[in-house]
């Protein structure tokens, strides 16, 4: 049995010492939060999935169930695992549900203000010795950890999208993260069948330090009229063997998230080469955030995505 592309997820039934963290809180039920809940529940953890929006929680459960059904159809999991895994996920909007979590991971909107507020509220509702994490794509782990009462038990855990399919997790120590905490998170991510890449705590870590400038350059290429949306994506797919074109990928990540990451790179590294393309800013201002809002560089209203430029 396998999970996603790794084929390494251990069977839940193989032993009862199933999980590093037995009860996990996930804050933010968007495309990443629901994916983290998905893989954690399949691996045997009890999951508390929290969001401010009830609709996000309903969507999350629907998407998790749909994706698990697809995994079963592909032979990646056994059909009999689905109902018990779904039964391990409890959703809600009340932070009190974090009371018995061994670990809480924050995966809400990529904004330092939002994340600081979430972490402040979370620690007031958590066990004093529980671990804390963030799935931020770019924001300083040291800064977020320093804002809590447990920087030594805090570790950055950057999953990739879609979580059940992508084999990588970047682990990032904050300045105060202890070796024991780091090892615990390494064990956790490996128990999910993921491969760990260790990154130092610099803006965007490894993946987004490299990926987002490429996506930004693709948007500048569109902005300057060098190529159309389909020309740019076709060029990069067929010319460099990328599975998705950069504009298609930007839509998939979420243009708000892309802009937020570029703003962190630009602000924290203070280098003009990371300046977000004005066209990206305009799309976000228009609420054209990509797949999640039905329109970005492509229009997702029909059966096949249609380029918008």
Residue set of the binding site for NAD(+): 28-33, 51, 110, 115, 137, 161, 292
Tokens of 120: 């402040």
At a CB cut-off of 8 Å and minimum separation 6, what does 115 contact? Answer: 106, 108, 134, 136, 139, 144
Site size for ligand NAD (CB under 6 A): 28
Tell me the catalytic residues: 137, 158, 170, 208
The residues in 99-118 that bind ligand NAD, with binding defined as CB under 6 A, are: 107-110, 114, 118
* Candidate residues 12, 32, 37, 172; the one interacting with ligand NAD per rule CB under 6 A: 32
Q: What is the rounded distance in angstroms from the CA atom of residue 188 to the CA atom of residue 169?
A: 11
- Report CA-CA distances (Å) from 78 to 18, 34, 194: 17, 20, 19
Q: Are 258 and 250 in contact (CB under 8 A)?
A: yes
CB of 106 to ligand NAD, least distance (A): 8
The residues in 196-255 that bind ligand NAD, with binding defined as CB under 6 A, are: 253-254
Tokens of 101: 């979590």
The residues in 136-175 that bind ligand NAD, with binding defined as CB under 6 A, are: 136-137, 158-161
Per CB under 6 A, which region of 31-39, 81-89, 177-185, 233-241 contacts ligand NAD?
A: 31-39
β-pairing verdict for 306-307 and 298-299: antiparallel
Angle at 245 between CA 240 and CA 247, to 5 degrees: 140
CB nearer to ligand NAD: give 51 or 201. Answer: 51
Q: How many Cβ atoms are within 10 Å of 296's Cβ, its own excluded?
A: 29
* Candidate residues 52, 147, 230, 293; the one interacting with ligand NAD per rule CB under 6 A: 52
Chain residues that interact with ligand NAD, rule: CB under 6 A: 27-33, 51-53, 56, 107-110, 114, 118, 135-137, 158-161, 253-254, 257, 292
């Amino acid at each position: 049995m396998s999970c996603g592309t790794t084929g390494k997820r251990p069977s839940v039934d193989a032993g009862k010492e199933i999980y590093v963290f037995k009860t996990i809180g996930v804050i933010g039920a968007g495309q990443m939060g629901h994916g983290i809940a998905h893989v954690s529940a399949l691996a045997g953890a009890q999951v508390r999935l929290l969001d401010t929006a009830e609709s996000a929680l309903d969507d999350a459960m629907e998407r998790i169930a749909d994706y698990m059904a697809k995994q079963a159809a592909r032979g990646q999991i056994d059909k009999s695992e689905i109902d018990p895994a779904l039964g391990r996920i409890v959703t809600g909007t009340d932070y009190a549900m974090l009371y018995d979590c061994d670990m809480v991971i924050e995966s809400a909107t990529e904004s330092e203000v939002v994340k600081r507020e979430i972490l402040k509220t979370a620690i007031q509702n958590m066990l004093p010795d529980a671990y804390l994490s963030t799935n931020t794509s770019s924001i300083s782990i040291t800064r977020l950890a320093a804002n809590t009462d447990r920087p030594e038990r805090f570790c950055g855990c950057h999953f990739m999208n879609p979580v059940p399919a992508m084999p990588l997790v970047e682990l990032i120590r904050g300045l105060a993260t202890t070796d024991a905490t780091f090892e615990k998170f390494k064990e956790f991510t490996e128990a999910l069948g993921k491969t760990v890449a260790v990154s130092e705590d610099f803006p965007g870590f490894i993946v987004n330090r490299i990926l987002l400038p490429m996506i930004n350059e693709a948007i500048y290429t569109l902005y300057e009229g060098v190529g159309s949306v389909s020309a740019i994506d076709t060029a990069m797919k067929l010319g460099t063997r990328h599975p998705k074109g950069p504009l298609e990928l930007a839509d998939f990540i979420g243009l708000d998230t892309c802009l937020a990451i570029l703003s962190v790179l630009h602000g924290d590294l203070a280098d003009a080469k990371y300046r977000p393309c004005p066209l990206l800013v305009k799309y976000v201002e228009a609420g054209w955030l990509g797949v999640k809002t039905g329109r970005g560089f492509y229009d997702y209203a029909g059966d096949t995505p249609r380029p918008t430029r």
